[in-house]
């Protein structure tokens, strides 16, 4: 079965612009979470969605937002981009929120470069 699909794979944006990243989870998976990976801070949790509702949020400014659609696909948006937002953004899907017996499967990520 198809894995987690993230689009686009690479993106270059200018400071001040906004960007939208997309994530299609594994079929049947209802939980989608997002992570930011940078050389300095490592992998950091951004937020998690389940049934179109944000259930958890990490310590990121309000410029970072997301949503989930009825088909479980998710988007994350970053407004007013800063140079420090350059990172690999990873999306993970898991079978069900609250069922920690399931592992999270990750996509290949979107590498965002802000210039």
Partner 1 sequence: AQKVTQAQTEISVVEKEDVTLDCVYETRDTTYYLFWYKQPPSGELVFLIRRNSFDEQNEISGRYSWNFQKSTSSFNFTITASQVVDSAVYFCALSEAGNSGGSNYKLTFGKGTLLTVNP
The verdict on 11 binding partner 1 (CB under 8 A) reads no
CB 110 within 8 A of CB 6: yes
The verdict on 65 binding partner 1 (CB under 8 A) reads no
Tally the C-alpha atoms within 13 A of residue 7's C-alpha that lie toward its C-beta: 4
What's 80's DSSP letter?
A: S
When asked if residue 35 is in the footprint of partner 1 (CB under 8 A), the reply is yes
Q: Judging by DSSP bridges, how do beta strands 110-114 and 10-13 pair with one another?
A: parallel
Among 21, 24, 26, 48, interactor with partner 1 by CB under 8 A:
48
Q: In terms of Cα–Cα distance, which of 23, 8, 21, 4 is closest to 85?
A: 21
Least separation in angstroms between residue 99's CB and partner 1 is 7
Cβ proximity to partner 1, 20 vs 102, nearer residue: 102
- Give the interface with partner 1 as residue ranges (CB under 8 A): 31, 33, 35, 42-45, 48, 55-56, 58, 88, 90, 92, 94, 97-101, 103-109, 111
């Amino acid at each position: 079965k198809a894995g987690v699909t993230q689009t686009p794979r690479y993106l270059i944006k200018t400071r001040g612009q906004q960007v939208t990243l997309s994530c299609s989870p594994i079929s049947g998976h209802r939980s989608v979470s997002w992570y930011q990976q940078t050389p300095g801070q490592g992998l950091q949790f951004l937020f998690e969605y389940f049934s179109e509702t944000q259930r958890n949020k990490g310590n990121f400014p309000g410029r970072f937002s997301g949503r989930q659609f009825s088909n479980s696909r998710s988007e994350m948006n970053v407004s007013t981009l800063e140079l420090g937002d350059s990172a690999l953004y990873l999306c993970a899907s898991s079978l069900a929120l609250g069922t920690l017996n399931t592992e999270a499967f990750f996509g290949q990520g979107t590498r965002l470069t802000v210039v």
